[in-house]
Structure 1
Amino acid sequence: MAEVAKAVALIDLALHACTAYDRPDAATRLTAAKESLADPVLHVVVAGEFKQGKSSLVNALVGATVCTVDDDVATAVPTYVRHGAKPEAALLYEPGRREPIPVADVRRYVLEGGAGGVNGDRVSGVEVRIPRKILAGGLVLVDTPGVGGLGSPHAAASLAAVSMADAVLFVTGAAQELTRSEVDFLQRARSLCPVVACVVTKTDFYPAWRRIRELNERHLAAHCPMPLMPVSSTLRSRAVKANDTALNAESGFTHLVAFLTEKIGASAVDRLAGEASAEVLALCEQLDSRFQAERAALADPEAAARVVRELTGVKERVESLKSAAAKWNQTLSDGVTDLTSDVDHDLRARVRVVIAEADTAIEEGDPADTWAEMEAWLQSRMADELLANYELLRDRATDLGVRVGDHFHEASTMIMRRPSVTDPTPLATVADFQHKIDLERMKLTKQAMVALKSAYGGALMFIILGSLVGVSLGPIGIGIGLVMGHRGLRDEKKRQVTKRRAEARNAIRRYCDEVSFVAGKDSRDTLRRVQRQLRDHYSGLAEELNKANTQALNSAAEAAKRTQADREKRLKDVDAELARVQQLRQRAQAVAA
């Protein structure tokens, strides 16, 4: 893109300035900004309920069958579709490991009940690379499993992916209007991702799709305003094969492609170009202050001593920024400590609520009847609570970064952008529930034995008691035995239900403790990474400011020692340098605009 080329050319010019003015410290951040421009990555998550046409939508967008479409089996793991020089695929594992596979084998791994990874390792996703123009700018389409309702584990996993995405396309079919769970999901998605759009699919299959579009527009306007685009993946695929422009327009994909390239792609390019120009403008400010101080000393020798004193005072303030007692450093340290405590307390409170709800449900039924539903409910509830806890961590970490930047503002106008937090997707996809509960009811044989044992014992006791007092009970003893047998069987069933309930409660607590242990460790690690990011960023800025101030101080001190002729000659050189810095600033402002 032309914008990216302008930003790269701007950074190259700034890197030349770093070399000319002996500023290798500033060149480090500029190089990092250039690398981001060279390989931009824009994640667009395609989410929605099961069998709504998500995979078909991705295939139609890229004009190739990269995501598996099946009428009976749903997608089980995410599929990442990105640009590549040639078609290739790979399995993705949670620790970041990847394993190449043939493209033809993708279907085996993405559908429910598909093959597992090597050595039984859990596959977290499948990546497919193909040479397509729409993907060449860094666009990555993520085909996610179906939501399955807001409270399902799939929904939590999809929301976790949404939190790390640049944009979201929510897919709903034209068969019916948006459901309550879909609207709830969209509301959560908007709070996690800045760009969300709703896509109505299968318009070629349902003649009343225009009425569905009107109803959906009302729902979105009332609850979560966002763009809504009706499309037909079938018509799009036919249009691509036949190279039919009119059919492509009828499919509705022209608006969707424009949204992806102009809204999402352009916003990402603007963000990267803005970050690059901000880095260059910061360098210009430092270079300008250096030459302005030297010029003031050259133009007025009597004021040179004052300039040197002012720069010396600035040097002391800048050096104080590098100390542990600096306000920004104390704010960072205290903020991370407080945030760690608050996030841990929030997680514990959420787990306590889940356990209390589970205990209530267990007391109202028999785990032998309800455990299958209880297990699925517990996994989805814990995944949802972990995601909410992650949202707290992310938002508070962002606020902390802003506060630290504000306290550093007295020495630099540069504030670090939102600190990067860890991907919550592995936490949302919680581990399988490993329980040790005997859910088997008593078989008829065992019930008969328990009843017989109680009946025999009861009848025998009363017969012996009657014989001791000289009374023969006869058939009455048998009746008493039957009553005692029924009571014994009832008590045994009650005891076993109580035992199952206790085992179920213990299993739930063990599961919640394990999830809390893993999530707590992950949040603490994340906050330590955030602390290191902010600390290293502002420590580096302090070093840059110190370097710039030292150069300015040395230049001003040397200017005071020059003769009149040397000052006049050097003054022309300094004015020329200031003009070059001004030209660089103007180019940076043009890129930012």
Structure 2
Amino acid sequence: MVNYDEREREILALFPAVVGAALGAGAQASVERLHEAERGLYEKQMALVVMGEFSRGKSSLINALLEEPGLLPVDSYLSTRAVTTLRWGAEEVITVSLAAHGERRAEERRISREELRSHLCESAVADGYGAPDADRVSAVSIELPNPRLESGVLLVDTPGVGGVYRSHSTATLGVLPIADAVLYVTDALQPLLASELAFINVVARAVGAATHAERLLFVVTKCDQSPDVEAAVLDLRTRLRAVPGLAPERLAIVPVSSHLRLAHLTEHDPEDFELSNFGPLEEKLWPTLARSGARLLQEAALAELDRVTTSLLAPVEAVLSVMNTEDRSVNERLAAAADAEEKRAAALADGSAVWPDRLAEEMTAVTVELKQRVDTDLAEMWRTLRYAYRGRQELLDDPQLLLDRVAQGLALLTAELSQLVRKRAAEVHKAFEVQTRVQLRDTAPGGLATPPLPTASAAVQSRRPDPSSPLLTELLIALDTATEGARRGAEAGGRLGEVAWEVALRRALPAEQVERGVTRVLKAGEGPYESPAALVGRMVGGVVGATLSFTRQLRWLRELAHSERVHALDQVFESWEPEQKAFLQTALAEVVEAHTRQVTEDLRHRVEERRTECAASARAIAAARAAVGQDRAVERAAAEQRCTVLLTLQERIHQLAEDLRTQGAS
């Protein structure tokens, strides 16, 4: 069986012949789509997202992988406060994105490598030595001429999960939609926590690790400090069995020492490199990432090649059918069928066509079904939560544990709803492909945002503070404080969504069009509509800010009696549940609407392309019927040659596609 690189070369070798056939048939739209698919194979844009618990050594690991000691700030008490993206650039350029605040507008600012610490670390801001605008930093982008990134790798460093800044978990989830693979970092000195397993469950679902284990890799850091590294790896593999759908024996788990690898880079001691175990990690990581990205790109390229060859074959086979029979009635039926197909395609392309309305109706029905699921599933989640904090004292003793429980439940619920959106949308689109005979490109809806924690406005309006109820008053003050945090978090989340949108653009648009100006055109308020990823990011960001602010304000609950805590929480959650229901229903409607718009636009292009193909086929059949004598013989020979070439190409395309499916399943 050929490897991915060999298959890629074989796929690329097919493009000139198929493009030539499309040009010969005058199918310019098909030529443009072929160029787009071919360009995707060459560019190989792949996103590797690095995740893990607070203080596991993610930034040190990235510095070691890139062979760039001192690039990202590293310290035992520091915490990365914003998502940092690293990609190749001809020269080093570091840009911080600053969120709007008060009268200060959102902006992007270039900084030096030396200034990263004061902008990127939570402790720098908390201890008062951060940059003047460090509290407004929502994202950091680093371009540098690093060989590891030159192949198209986008490396994403995320805030730590858990630790002091527990709300970072949601910020980290915000970048999952762009991940081709996730590198999850643990360390040999601390066993995997229950909260990490819950987070890994969400990550595994997002990247499809149950069926594509290569998209989730685990690194066990600090192996130079562990007395028994093998035991640490075995313990991790054992604990991962608790994650539904994962097969731990299929997962790659590599123990390393970033400290020794960085020491090797500066002191060049071969023993440091050997003991760091970075050799096996890199042998596993880079080829795995390349295969993960290559598989998706190769599937897309083969699908486009097959679609074009099939569309080119249809008129050629029709012409041969006309020329290979002298039966006038058969020829008339073939010509009539071609004319009918041309008229049908023209009717689909007409502005008065009804299919867009029918598509919208079908997707509206999907939205109604999903809203019903929200009602039942969210109600069940809240029943379970209320029962939990009544029966488990530790949830009342530590408000953060309670909010973690809420966040976990919401994350799992939104993951399930997102999967249902994809499933139902795929069913609708498949039905429309059958009805219209027009093949759509793969346009799966984006994931939903996590529902927000309570905001002051909803809570205050639904339940006014009662002077005789100081507990409720305190909670409402806490919610009021959370509102500002939610607003700021939403701005940061919107920027994370734009990162996801930019990656999507780089995969879909010609290279010369993918500039920062393009992403700005698609930002909120600056384009015809907001990108789905930016919209989702903004909603995710809202819960990030609210969680942090709300958690800090709930610490006083520990001083109250059990019954008072339960009563106070019941009062606030009474308004919180309907707020989350409304949020999820709105989010579902917006995601489905954005997806419907995207599919409608794509279908319009496909319909127009189909109309052109049908018109060309009708003309070819008419010309074949009119040809006589020597002209007919020449036309037949040319058609037979075209048919042979296209059938040979199609056979090879199908063979490569089957090889790819077989290799992916093995």
Q: TM-score range by the shorter chain?
A: 0.7 to 0.9
Q: Tell me how far apart the structure 2 counterparts of residues 356 and 120 of structure 1 sit (CA, whole Å).
A: 41
Please point out which of 197, 213, 219 is paired with 1:199: 219
**Aligned pair in 2 of structure 1 residues 351, 304: CA closer, same or farther (>3 Å)?**
closer
In the alignment, which residue of structure 2 is the partner of 1:402?
426
Paired letter, 1:396: L
In the alignment, which residue of structure 1 is the partner of 2:299?
274
Paired letter, 1:131: P
Equivalences for 1:451-530 in 2 at 5 Å?
520-530=585-595
Paired letter, 2:117: R
Q: 1:340 aligned to 2:380?
A: no
TM-score (norm 2): 0.69
CA positional deviation for 1:351: 6.2
In the alignment, which residue of structure 1 is the partner of 2:142?
128
Equivalences for 1:353-372 in 2 at 5 Å?
none
CA positional deviation for 1:291: 0.9
Deviates more, 1:73-82 or 1:94-103: 94-103
**Aligned pair in 2 of structure 1 residues 322, 118: CA closer, same or farther (>3 Å)?**
farther
Please point out which of 413, 416, 441 is paired with 1:416: 441
TM-score (norm 1): 0.76
Please point out which of 539, 542, 548 is paired with 1:427: 539
Please point out which of 188, 192, 207 is paired with 1:178: 192
Paired letter, 2:420: R
Please point out which of 179, 183, 193 is paired with 1:169: 183
> Equivalent residue of 1:133, what SS?
coil
Maintained 8 Å contact 2:349/2:611: no
In the alignment, which residue of structure 1 is the partner of 2:239?
219
Maintained 8 Å contact 1:46/1:54: yes
What do residues 197-242 of structure 1 show as CA deviations (whole Å, max 9, x unaligned)? 2211111111222222222233335643222111111222233345
Q: Tell me how far apart the structure 2 counterparts of residues 268 and 318 of structure 1 sit (CA, whole Å).
A: 35
Q: 1:548 aligned to 2:613?
A: yes
**Aligned pair in 2 of structure 1 residues 18, 589: CA closer, same or farther (>3 Å)?**
same
Paired letter, 1:53: G
Paired letter, 2:621: A
In the alignment, which residue of structure 2 is the partner of 1:144?
158
Q: Tell me how far apart the structure 2 counterparts of residues 378 and 317 of structure 1 sit (CA, whole Å).
A: 59
Deviates more, 1:205-214 or 1:97-106: 97-106
Q: Tell me how far apart the structure 1 counterparts of residues 319 and 99 of structure 2 sit (CA, whole Å).
A: 55
Deviates more, 1:15-24 or 1:65-74: 15-24
Deviates more, 1:266-275 or 1:154-163: 154-163
Paired letter, 1:218: T
> Equivalent residue of 2:546, what SS?
coil
Q: 1:90 aligned to 2:95?
A: yes
Maintained 8 Å contact 2:48/2:181: yes
CA positional deviation for 1:326: 9.2
What do residues 312-339 of structure 1 show as CA deviations (whole Å, max 9, x unaligned)? 3444554566689999867743442133
Q: Tell me how far apart the structure 1 counterparts of residues 600 and 304 of structure 2 sit (CA, whole Å).
A: 18
> Equivalent residue of 2:78, what SS?
coil
Deviates more, 1:421-430 or 1:506-515: 506-515
CA positional deviation for 1:141: 2.2
Q: Tell me how far apart the structure 1 counterparts of residues 594 and 148 of structure 2 sit (CA, whole Å).
A: 34
CA positional deviation for 1:520: 4.8
Q: Which runs of 5+ in 2 are unaligned?
A: 101-105, 209-214, 447-531, 660-666
Maintained 8 Å contact 2:197/2:242: no
**Aligned pair in 2 of structure 1 residues 394, 358: CA closer, same or farther (>3 Å)?**
closer
Q: Tell me how far apart the structure 2 counterparts of residues 86 and 113 of structure 1 sit (CA, whole Å).
A: 29
Q: Tell me how far apart the structure 1 counterparts of residues 13 and 414 of structure 2 sit (CA, whole Å).
A: 39
CA positional deviation for 1:565: 1.7
In the alignment, which residue of structure 2 is the partner of 1:48?
52
In the alignment, which residue of structure 2 is the partner of 1:238?
263
In the alignment, which residue of structure 2 is the partner of 1:577?
642
Maintained 8 Å contact 2:92/2:144: yes
Q: Which runs of 5+ in 1 are unaligned?
A: 442-492
In the alignment, which residue of structure 1 is the partner of 2:109?
99
CA positional deviation for 1:282: 0.8
Q: Tell me how far apart the structure 2 counterparts of residues 440 and 240 of structure 1 sit (CA, whole Å).
A: 46
Q: Tell me how far apart the structure 1 counterparts of residues 331 and 7 of structure 2 sit (CA, whole Å).
A: 43
Which protein is bigger by CA-based radius of gyration? 1
**Aligned pair in 2 of structure 1 residues 439, 556: CA closer, same or farther (>3 Å)?**
closer
> Equivalent residue of 2:217, what SS?
strand
In the alignment, which residue of structure 1 is the partner of 2:493?
none
CA positional deviation for 1:128: 1.7
Paired letter, 2:183: L
Q: Tell me how far apart the structure 1 counterparts of residues 606 and 261 of structure 2 sit (CA, whole Å).
A: 51
Q: Tell me how far apart the structure 1 counterparts of residues 265 and 65 of structure 2 sit (CA, whole Å).
A: 10
Q: CA RMSD in A?
A: 4.2
Q: Tell me how far apart the structure 2 counterparts of residues 208 and 127 of structure 1 sit (CA, whole Å).
A: 38
Q: Tell me how far apart the structure 2 counterparts of residues 10 and 91 of structure 1 sit (CA, whole Å).
A: 43
What do residues 566-585 of structure 1 show as CA deviations (whole Å, max 9, x unaligned)? 10011122223223434543
Maintained 8 Å contact 1:78/1:110: no
Please point out which of 319, 333, 340 is paired with 1:306: 333
Equivalences for 1:11-30 in 2 at 5 Å?
11=15, 13-30=17-34
Equivalences for 1:380-391 in 2 at 5 Å?
380=404, 383-391=407-415
**Aligned pair in 2 of structure 1 residues 125, 32: CA closer, same or farther (>3 Å)?**
same
**Aligned pair in 2 of structure 1 residues 28, 355: CA closer, same or farther (>3 Å)?**
same
Q: Tell me how far apart the structure 1 counterparts of residues 254 and 403 of structure 2 sit (CA, whole Å).
A: 34
Deviates more, 1:568-577 or 1:31-40: 31-40
In the alignment, which residue of structure 1 is the partner of 2:498?
none
**Aligned pair in 2 of structure 1 residues 47, 544: CA closer, same or farther (>3 Å)?**
same
Q: Tell me how far apart the structure 1 counterparts of residues 16 and 259 of structure 2 sit (CA, whole Å).
A: 46
What do residues 382-435 of structure 1 show as CA deviations (whole Å, max 9, x unaligned)? 644553453244312321342234321466584532424144444333133778
Maintained 8 Å contact 2:191/2:232: yes
Number of corresponding residues: 534
In the alignment, which residue of structure 2 is the partner of 1:33?
37
> Equivalent residue of 2:91, what SS?
coil
Maintained 8 Å contact 1:93/1:123: yes
CA positional deviation for 1:117: 9.0
**Aligned pair in 2 of structure 1 residues 297, 167: CA closer, same or farther (>3 Å)?**
same
What do residues 160-179 of structure 1 show as CA deviations (whole Å, max 9, x unaligned)? 43344111122111114333
Maintained 8 Å contact 1:67/1:143: no
Q: Tell me how far apart the structure 2 counterparts of residues 119 and 232 of structure 1 sit (CA, whole Å).
A: 34
Identity level (%): 23
What do residues 172-195 of structure 1 show as CA deviations (whole Å, max 9, x unaligned)? 111143333333332332222132
Maintained 8 Å contact 2:440/2:602: no
**Aligned pair in 2 of structure 1 residues 151, 72: CA closer, same or farther (>3 Å)?**
closer
